[in-house]
Amino acid sequence: MHLSTTRARPRGFTYLGVLFLISVLGITASAASVVWNIAAQRDAERELVFMGRQFAAAIESYRARSTDPVLTYPRQLEDLLRDDRSITPRHHLRRLYVDPMTGDSKWGLIRLPDGGIVGVHSLSDRKPYPRAFVVAGFPAPSSTSYQEWRFVAPSAADTVAAITVPKSGASR
């Protein structure tokens, strides 16, 4: 006589294990996404500071090369790419940067009453990541948006201290 013994196999445990694994992977991916977004914003802020400083230095270079008291500062950002005010053209900037906060080539312009550009700012209304320093030598301004991060030529810093940054408009 042959006795067959059948065991009751536990069914469904593999399925529950796979569901648990998928949910753990989903939670991990969600947490990684938050960390990645913060890291990407901080990188964009560092790029903004670099580009803003490049614009400020180029405007200062343009002013230092100026012999005409009327055209001390550029009238448009393109003037920084090729300065034809003397026999030998000068390139104060290699290219016009794209605002890393908006992804657009338009920048807010800080102008003197005579129309000369003395600085730039981002047109992004996003709120900056809170911290003490963005990069060495650039303390994070306490601001509600990146529009308040101003990059001004050193020679014009005192002159524009009272000028407010416009909340809209402005272009290249």
Tell me which range, 21-30, 69-78, 117-126, is most confidently predicted by mean pLDDT.
117-126
Output the 3-class SS for the chain. Answer: CCCCCCCCCCCCHHHHHHHHHHHHHHHHHHHHHHHHHHHHHHHHHHHHHHHHHHHHHHHHHHHHCCCCCCCCCCCCHHHHCCECCCCCCECCCCCCCCECCCCECCCEEEECCCCCEEEEECCCCCCCCCCCEEECCEECCCCCCHHHCEEECHHHCCCCCCCCCCCCCCCC
pLDDT at site 9: 62
**By residue range, what is the domain housing residue 78?**
46-156
**% of the chain at pLDDT higher than 90:** 40
Q: What is the pLDDT of residue 172?
A: 46
**Prediction pTM value:** 0.76
Would 74 be classed as within a structural domain? yes
**Quick check: is 12 in a domain?**
no
Q: Is residue 68 part of a domain?
A: yes
